[in-house]
Structure 1
Amino acid sequence: MQIETSIPLLENILEPWKPIIGSQYQPYKNHVYRVVNFCFLLHQSTPDDREKFIIAGCFHDKRR
């Protein structure tokens, strides 16, 4: 398995949240990368599946 360390869609989704997340932005982004990479590892996915994993990963831990 190749670990994805740069996923443009993930970066584009999370970037606008950087000012809101503040000092926890980098740790949260790292966490999302781990979640997404585990999904890629555990599921043989199509490009559409991968996009869905990335989007879900970005918002999976969103709290109000």
Structure 2
Amino acid sequence: MTNIDTVERLVSEMTPAELVEFRRWFAQFDASAWDREIEADAAAGRLDELAERALAAHSVGHTTKL
């Protein structure tokens, strides 16, 4: 049995209250992982080209106010 299989089994056996708590925990866990990934990409320069393209589009008026 893989870890995924184990997690799937455990989640399927949770009570509704446990699912609420698990969803809350996982949302925070996932957001933190995403933040770390974005920070690593930014530090490594992997977002530089996207930022440059966005700034160039903005400078010629190809953006709209939110």
TM-score (norm 2): 0.37
Q: Which has the larger radius of gyration?
A: 2
TM-score (norm 1): 0.38
